[in-house]
Structure 1
Amino acid sequence: MDIDTGITSEVLTIKSKTKLIDIFNEIISKKSEAVFEYIEGLNFDINTRIVVIGTYFTGVGIVKRLSERYTDILLIDIYPHLEELLYSEVGGKLKNRVDFSSNLDLIYSGDVVIDTTGFGGIDVEQSSRFDVDAFIIEDPIAEDNDEALKEKNNIDERLKAVRSPNKAIIKTKGINTKTSGTMTLTIGLLTTVLNKCLEREGTLYGACEMGFFEEAIFKEKDIGKFLGLIDVNALKVSTIDPFDCDDIIKEELNKITSEMI
């Protein structure tokens, strides 16, 4: 925890050591480890062809973890510029360890396929063309707390259409967010953490880094700008009674779970 003086010597500003990128990476790690352990349990050869569809956070995290053991991995995304994430800290600097393509015809080239595309991604018709050794899909829903999103969610139909002896769903939840996206979970976590800080005696006000980062990624297509925006302290609080805000962040992170169902 960093502490600076505020407007006067009586009021202090505390800053979390935790950065936004740290929160992203912790959530991504939970998802990726669940997938890795599931695939390991199927006893596939290290040369098994693994195709991951969808780069944004979950996809890049999964290939990062899988590349520690498996040698033939292809990451596919319709946005070519997202390949830059593979070479960043978020992607574990995976240059020359994972292949990347924007050719959707290649989604059928794997022995193991992992679909992280969520809402509006791979549809049921496309799913019906898979005949693979294992198929994993990420559930974009976290908690069952939004009827409109539940109605929109079609992963059960997509999974049923796939021909595979091994099917599984990545389910991530724990802090009452509507979706399981890493960005959604991060913003939900920070909202709760900020409210807890504001409830403490002696707190004047606080602020979290909550920019709409997806504009930098998908509108401006500027991965470098995005990486700069998230390499900052996640939380700052003005208070007369300093406390460790990193403990509160960790407490909320520990509530997030990811499992294969």
Structure 2
Amino acid sequence: MDIDTGITQEVLTIKSEIKLIDIFNRIIEKKSQACVDYIDNLNINPNAKITVIGTYFTGIGIVKKLSEKYNNILLIDIYPHLEELLYTNIGGKLINDVKFSSNLDLIYDGDIVIDTTGFGGINVEQSSEFDVDVFLIEDPVAEDNDELLKNKNNIHDRLNVVNSKNKSIIKTKGIDTKTSGTMTLTIGVLTNVLNQISKKEGVLYSACEMGFFEEVIFKEKNIDKFIELTNKKAVKVSTINPFDLDEIILEEINKIESKMI
């Protein structure tokens, strides 16, 4: 545990060993593993054409996990600069090469299609053109605790019009967030952790290193800056009574579950 003195010798600053990128990756791993396990159970040929639509962040994790076994993977995203994420530590390590394209005409080329585009992504009309062996789609809603988001969610309509003998939904929830996005879940983990810490005896205050990274990724389009920002210890606490900060973070992450339904 990283401990330093605070303003005085009597007040200590404790820092988590867990970094922001570690939280991202643990959440992405849950989603990716559920998806890959489903595909593996179908005994798919390793050379089957797999198309993943959407990079941020479920898609990047899925293609990296799939690259451990499968050889013909295409990642499609309307933002060309997101290809850089393939060569970062976000979502794990890339084993076999993955092709990248921003050409949406290619979304129909796969034997297996995984749609992670969520709200405002691939629409029902586009979905009706799919005729594939396997079609998976990520549910952007987590707990169904927001009526507006629930009504906005059209993944069931999209899934219903797809022609495929193997169709399933990637469902991720567990910490009472509104959506299942990795960024949302990370903020949910950190918010819950800070709330728990604030109730501990001897704690003055706590803070996390989380920022509004969406602007860095999509407005500034600076992936290097984003990676640098996430490579920081996730939580810091001012306290007179040190405790295991990482244990609290891991307990919260472990509440998250991702499965195919």
> What is the correspondence of 1:188-203 to structure 2 with a 5 Å cutoff?
188-203=188-203
- Partner Cα distance (1:77, 1:234) in 2: 29
Q: What residue is the counterpart of 1:130 in the other structure? A: 130
Contact 1:177 1:184 in 2 (8 A): yes
Which secondary structure does the structure 2 equivalent of 1:232 belong to? coil
TM-score (norm 2): 0.99
Shift of 1:93: 4.9
Contact 2:124 2:158 in 1 (8 A): yes
Q: What residue is the counterpart of 1:35 in the other structure? A: 35
Deviations 1:188-223 (A, max 9, x none): 110000111110000000001120001000000000
| 2:136 is equivalent to residue 139 of structure 1 | no
Contact 2:31 2:58 in 1 (8 A): yes
Alpha-carbon RMSD: 0.9
- Partner Cα distance (1:84, 1:132) in 2: 28
Q: Classify 1:95/1:76 alpha carbon distance in 2 versus 1 (closer, same or farther; 3 Å).
A: farther
Contact 2:172 2:259 in 1 (8 A): yes
Spell out structure 1 runs of 4+ moving beyond 2 A: 91-96
Contact 1:86 1:92 in 2 (8 A): no
Q: Classify 1:29/1:92 alpha carbon distance in 2 versus 1 (closer, same or farther; 3 Å).
A: closer
Shift of 1:96: 6.3
Which secondary structure does the structure 1 equivalent of 2:165 belong to? coil
Q: What residue is the counterpart of 2:10 in the other structure? A: 10
Q: What residue is the counterpart of 1:169 in the other structure? A: 169
> What is the correspondence of 1:67-106 to structure 2 with a 5 Å cutoff?
67-94=67-94, 97-106=97-106
- Partner Cα distance (1:8, 1:91) in 2: 40
Shift of 1:162: 0.2
| 2:118 is equivalent to residue 118 of structure 1 | yes
Shift of 1:94: 3.0
- Partner Cα distance (1:91, 1:144) in 2: 26
Which secondary structure does the structure 2 equivalent of 1:193 belong to? helix
Gap regions ≥5 residues in structure 2: none
Q: Which amino acid aligns with 1:72?
A: N
Count of residues in Structure 1 that have an aligned counterpart in Structure 2: 261
TM-score (norm 1): 0.99
Gap regions ≥5 residues in structure 1: none
Contact 1:51 1:76 in 2 (8 A): yes
